[in-house]
Amino acid sequence: MFVKHGMNSQFALLGVLGSSAVFRRQQFLIRTLGGYTNQTHQNRIQQTKAMSGIALEADAEHILRAITPTLDPTKHKGQAGNIAIIGGCREYTGAPYFAAISALKIGADLSHVFCTKDAASVIKSYSPELIVHPVLEESYSVRDEDKLSTLGKVLAEVDKWMERFDCLVVGPGLGRDPFLLGCVSEIMKHARQFNVPIVVDGDGLFLVTNSLDLVSGYPLAVLTPNINEYKRLVQKVLNCEVTDQDAHEQLLSLAKGIGGVTILRKGKSDLISDSETVKSVSIYGSPRRCGGQGDILSGSVAVFLSWARQRLAAAEGDSSISKINPTMLGCIAGSALMRKAASLAFQNKKRSTLTSDIIECLGRSLEDICPAS
């Protein structure tokens, strides 16, 4: 790999990484998130705008190529990702399935669902590919005098697996039962102790909005609110209404107000901030807004966040790489792939496009951008 004369020596990574292929991927990461010091004048202008709170369109396809691992026959089961979904109750069984199966379709090796007993058999019937744990409980099934011991049993079951997980997705199909939410709150606290990334969506955002301490100050937390969920967060944290005129500055302020978490604000263009910068993903997309697309996104972000952490760990000790936030990379990649899959599905199905159609397009979408061979 040719390195320009005069480039800061911290970017001469070939000797550190030991492989031109890995080197090129790391170059992608640095370039797409503004890590080069020897930039063109235009890039300097764009970086200045980003510091001013103006969102820049992320180079999403380059990021996807940079963090997606190669298929290696020497690797073993689990190394490409072990994802857990915390959600699924009597009323909602589709959402956790969508999130879990999306993770597998993208390339994770294992996908777990921790749900209530009522939801477990239904979710299992959707696919034999998922590992389903019927361990969560709702208030109606637990006597008041048994709640403390039941909570202990739930935590013990989840903790047996926690250190194996690369990411948790909290919220798809969770519901709002008070006892169930209390159990999930404790699971999130344990995940932080294990340093496991947490993607929060759906009813998980309801929980977090009312208990910000669950994610506040945790840099590996990602929130993925839709327009209504975002409105509630802004009202709670910033004590004001959502404004589109200063959307980028408001998103920065919100991420800072929750202690530096990463927020992916879903919309016509997805806006992403980790309290330091704002990026947008506007490529692809579909006008069809069928329910369940947010569940696909949460599963996608979980996988790519896990892969980004692995990629950055490969360059551990290099200051130029270690400063890149894996949650930003995961959100950008997950958003772009979801939008591309939705676009492909809409080309075929138009108004009849369903979430299941989009899921079937995930593999092809990733293959188009980052071929497996």
Q: Is residue 51 one of the residues assigned to a domain?
A: yes
Q: Is residue 139 one of the residues assigned to a domain?
A: yes
Q: Which residue has the tokens 């990629």?
A: 311
Any idea what DSSP says for residue 138?
-
The predicted structure's pLDDT at residue 207: 98
Q: What is the pTM of this model?
A: 0.87
Q: Is residue 352 one of the residues assigned to a domain?
A: no
Q: Is residue 86 one of the residues assigned to a domain?
A: yes
Q: What is the pLDDT of residues 217-249, one digit of tens each?
A: 999 999 999 999 999 999 999 999 999 899 999
Output the domain CATH number for residue 227.
3.40.1190.20
Quote the CA–CA distance of 15 and 4 in Å, as a whole number.
Answer: 15
Instruction: Output the six-digit token pair for 221.
Output: 């937390």
Q: What is the pLDDT of residues 140-157, one digit of tens each?
A: 999 999 999 999 999 999
**Parent domain of 77:** 10-335
Q: What is the pLDDT of residues 53-107, one digit of tens each?
A: 445 899 999 999 999 999 999 999 999 999 999 999 999 999 999 999 999 999 9
The predicted structure's pLDDT at residue 373: 77
The predicted structure's pLDDT at residue 103: 98
Looking at the 3D structure of the chain, how many domains does it have? 1
Q: What is the mean pLDDT of the chain?
A: 88
Q: Is residue 363 one of the residues assigned to a domain?
A: no
Q: Which residues of the chain have pLDDT under 70?
A: 1-55, 316-322
Q: Is residue 281 one of the residues assigned to a domain?
A: yes
Per-residue b or e along 240-276, where b marks 16 or more CB atoms closer than 10 Å to that residue's CB? eebeeeebbbbbbbbbbbbebbbbbbbeebbbbbbbe
Q: Is residue 286 one of the residues assigned to a domain?
A: yes
The predicted structure's pLDDT at residue 51: 40
CA distances (Å), origin 12, targets 9, 147, 318: 5, 57, 10
The predicted structure's pLDDT at residue 4: 37
The predicted structure's pLDDT at residue 318: 55
Q: Report residue 342 CA to chain centroid gap.
A: 17
The predicted structure's pLDDT at residue 83: 98
Residues in the chain: 373
